[in-house]
Structure 1
Amino acid sequence: MGKQIIVKTLILFAILGYGLGSQAQVQVSARTDTNRIRIGEQVKLILSATLPDKGAGNVVFPQLPDSFTHWEVVSRTGFDTSAANGNKVLQQTLVLTSFDSGSWNLPALKFDVLSNGAVTDSAFTDSLLIDVGTVEVDTTKAFKPIKAVRSVPWSFWDYWLYFAIGISVILIGIGLFVYFRSRPKKEVLKPTAPAVPPYEVALLALRQLKEEKLWQQGDVKQYYTRITDILRAYFEQQFNIPALEQTSEELLQHIKPVTILNQQRDRLRDLLTIADLAKFAKLTPTPEEHERALSQAFEIVEWTKPAVEKAKESEKANDADAGKTEGAGN
């Protein structure tokens, strides 16, 4: 009696397991919309997989290459998902064509069943047979001769757009030529030399500053601002250095290519340093430093003025000395 109960229990579990396994089984199929085409025509291959909506994992469709035996894949659709009778149905459509006449098999295709990311089973479709026929030719009729090449009469309206474009280009070219030819030429204005040389302007400004006696009146910052502004303006006009827009260190770097100005580099550095301290650090230089700063400014301008002017001044000085000598001799 106990053995019968055990056997019945085992049979019951087996039936339940078979039922569960049947429910979890994946059904796959492959079908075509026709089984006969002509060379170059297309046939639709419809692949589908039916699996329970719950607990069946997933299925991987076969990946057909773009070209396989006697067949070429023209296009592939995405996967369509639908539900039927509590099952999930996946479907994909491939469009195939063939350029070989004959009866050709579409081989059985393999679907892999996945569970928890691993392949647990495989399912295969049936193979399909499709006839690929040629274009029927009626051999009872005689072949027609090849027709001769026919000449088409020339028509202006077949080429009117090209003529219009060509004429437009010619007219535009003529118009541009006439415009540029008749346009008045701009006169190039030559820069006029300043009436007073820059070094004379600088020396005159320094003399005027000396007469104003700013530092003696306690306006030390204005005194040094005037000295550096006079020198910077002189450098811009005489040597084309953008001195008014540069810091002291930048100015000292930009005078290096100007040899005659670079010879006064140490004197200019000393002057700019004492001026920056007086203007920005509120340092009050001594009277001797005030006098030396103005003297250095005069020396820099005198040293860097054009050599022609130096030669003229030297000749004037020599003439003056010769006149004094003659006067003393008389």
Structure 2
Amino acid sequence: MSQFYYYIQQLCTVINHISLFKRKQWFGLLLFCLPLLTFSQQITVKLNPDKILIGNQTQLTIQVENVQKNPSGIQQWLQLPDTFAHIQVVKREPIDTFTVDGNTIFSQKITITSFDSGSWKIPALSVVFLNKQTVANKNTPVLTVLPANVSGMNDYNGFTDIISVTPPPKPFPWWIIAAAITVVVIVLIIIQWARKRSKQKPIPVSSPKTKEQILEALAQLKEKYPYSSGNTRLLFTELVELCRSFTDLCYQQNTQSYTTDEYMIVIKNKIGNEPVQNAYFQMLRLADAVKFAQYKPAENEVNAAIDAGKQMAKTVQQFSFQPK
């Protein structure tokens, strides 16, 4: 702002030497020149895109415009934590500086992601200049995180609420209870008779599958459940069970009773690099849509899901159990 006062001083000196102007004309000329000499710093924050799938990435662009390096340069750049408002910072680009029409512009690009579905607001960011002035952005964009890409799915059936049914007013027939009791008694007698005739043999306990057996079973899924057979629900059920068993064996845990969201939280950042993790999480979401929403995936989606499971197991096997 010292440059601004310097320009005002110079303008007043010129006006004092021009005797033809009256006082009102001097004042009008001064008001006319004020907007041209004012430099207003401002911060702009943009998201591209502002809607992503869970686990995908987007770019946050921050620009500080109308900055004069001396004496109103930047003293402290904005402070953005690595984790904020359900959002995680993946990568920070270096701060770029360029000049447009005599104005210096500072720009930084930050890659962010989120593993929580919902709408998350980018907080206000502030910059401190050398003249002790603090400027914050006025616009606060909102990042929308979608749980799964269900747009354009014609066969996708949404969840509906449970409909209560009023029981019939007529009395319950007691003969059905008597018949059921009779059938149970007969079955118990047959079981007892069969036990007496059969020899007591120890029941073999099936040993848990090894990692090699799980990898072999994953490789045989396409042949076991060809797409033409229409058994996509069985395929995705066995695919998820094999993948969970593999991670349980590798990390000595038991997640078979966990929901998909709970399972994803437990294995997050443990199954390889980010592309492998994102593809695996998308496969789990697609499996839920197939099993619970009766979604019918295309053949390429099925093949991509199997490949995601194989890649996850291969990555965990390669990086988690290599000799130290």
Pair in the same fold by TM > 0.5: no
TM-score (norm 1): 0.38
The answer to which structure, 1 or 2, has the higher relative contact order (CA under 8 A, 6+ apart) is 2
- Bigger fraction of residues in helix: 1
